[in-house]
């Protein structure tokens, strides 16, 4: 069964298009190294929780929005090998003088074993 990497990250609202560009640049590199798909979602209906929510989980500031994304891999072994290749791929190195369009220090991520995958 598939293996998922999940991410929640705060992004300044003014960086939405720049974030999309960076994600569109990186997605084919992940796919080249074994990912089946890369999905990036910009929040537009995230309600405040009573205890916690997406915004508080990443300590999103007033001028930031939350991105929820995942990368689907065929299995964990492919993910482990592919993720290492992605991290060592020179195309993933930040270009000199170029800042990332998100707050990476507040990124939440992890790998997940699929328990259920129901589709229409």
Q: Which residues is 117 bridged to in the sheet?
A: none
According to DSSP, the β-strands at 3-12 and 37-42 are: unpaired
DSSP type of residue 75: S
The pLDDT score that the predictor gives to residue 72 is: 98
113 closest CA partner among 6, 8, 2: 2
pLDDT-based confidence at residue 49 (cuts at 50, 70, 90):
very high
Q: Residues 69, 39: contact at Cβ < 8 Å? A: yes
Mean pLDDT to the nearest integer, 83-94: 93
**pLDDT tens track for 8-39:** 999 999 999 999 999 999 999 999 999 999 99
DSSP type of residue 43: -
Q: Which H/E stretch holds residue 108?
A: strand 108-113
d(CA 4, CA 46): 22
Sign of CA dihedral 75, 80, 86, 87: positive
d(CA 63, CA 112): 30
Mean pLDDT to the nearest integer, 63-89: 97
pTM beyond cutoff 0.85: yes
Instruction: At 26, list the tokens.
Output: 């990186």
């Amino acid at each position: 069964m598939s293996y998922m990497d999940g991410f929640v990250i705060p992004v300044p609202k003014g960086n939405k298009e720049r974030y999309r560009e960076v994600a569109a640049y990186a997605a084919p590199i992940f796919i080249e190294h074994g990912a089946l798909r890369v999905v990036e979602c910009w929040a537009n209906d995230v309600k405040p929780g009573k205890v916690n929510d997406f915004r508080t989980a990443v300590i999103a500031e007033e001028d930031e929005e939350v991105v929820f994304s995942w990368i689907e891999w065929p299995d964990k072994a492919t993910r482990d090998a592919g993720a290492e290749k992605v991290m060592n791929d020179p195309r993933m190195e930040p270009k000199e003088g170029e800042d990332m369009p998100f707050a990476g220090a507040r990124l939440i991520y992890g790998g997940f074993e699929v328990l259920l995958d129901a589709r229409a």
